[in-house]
Amino acid sequence: MPRSIWKGSISFGLVQIPVALYPAEEPNELHFTQLDRRNMTPIRYERVNRETGEPVSWDDIVRGYPYEKGEYVVMSDEDLRRANVEATQTVDILDFVDASEIDPMYYEKPYYLAPASTNSKKKSSVTAYVLLREALRKTGKVGIAKVVIRTREHIAAVRPHGRALVLNLLRFAHELRSDEELDLPEMDVDAKGLGKRELEMAERLVAEMATEWKPEKYKDEYRDDVMKMIEKKVKSGQTTTPAEPEEEEEHRRDTGTVDLIALLKKSLGQKGAKVANDANDANDNKRAESAGAKPRKAESSKRKASGSRRAA
């Protein structure tokens, strides 16, 4: 079973559905190690202190946001989570729209959403999961949500896919370039000298090549050809055995969640906007009571954010 990269909840109205997020894609790319041609030894990239020139271990690396030249605000994983606890633990559904209205250009990356627990004591969370999945399926809608994955907020579409709910990350509108920048022919076909006969022949060709969509039919043939060449080199003895560097595992953090399925009826009796505002106000008040004083340079950081480079 794949490892979840995030745990939280789907939120719509006042309903919270505990879920875990799993990658839905498995890239099958060829990965090559860069070698020094002089002795065929792998090249190592070191994290080096710019001032001392000494290597720095992962344990000694922290995130720094450059709010002024040469000045940084250090942000830990816990700081990023506490900045907005709800955002880092929630797939917050804002609207429901027709699936057909979303241009494929906006789709970016898929993830599976699965119930966070199938424990019989938490049966209500599984029921809520099924409830949302079937409601989306029967209405033909998808949920448009906001979610924070690692250190970035994304817009996403929550939609049914077989037995699963899938979260598709979407591109924001400002991330897509307009085709107005390109020198494209106008939509007026007649003005471009396109004859009726040519168009009919093209339509007939498309019709003859039309078939059902079967994604498993299409293979990465170039990868297969490269692998055949690699195997040929192995059989002919054209190999080298350099020492492989150790790979460091990425540490991921799991977060808890709360099941509020009992609030479904209350959610249905209120308007979406009012529900969202009430929920946000309540969370803001709780955070304000426990957060304490804000950093004095917070405003300065915001004013200069647009000119600064965000640290990883």
Per residue in 19-60, pLDDT (tens digit) is 988 888 877 777 888 888 888 888 888 889 988 888 898 889
CA dihedral 79, 82, 86, 90 (to 10 degrees): 30
Percent of residues, the chain, with pLDDT higher than 70: 70
168-190 pLDDT per residue, tens: 999 999 999 988 888 888 777 66
pLDDT at 1 over 60: yes
> Reduced to 3 states, what is the DSSP secondary structure of residue 291?
helix
191-216 pLDDT per residue, tens: 566 778 888 888 889 999 899 888 88
Question: Average pLDDT over the chain, rounded to whole?
Answer: 76
CA neighbours closer than 13 Å in the CB half-sphere of residue 280: 10
CA neighbours closer than 13 Å in the CB half-sphere of residue 75: 20
Answer with the residue of higher pLDDT: 113 or 257. 113
Phi, psi of 303 (to 5 degrees): -65, -30
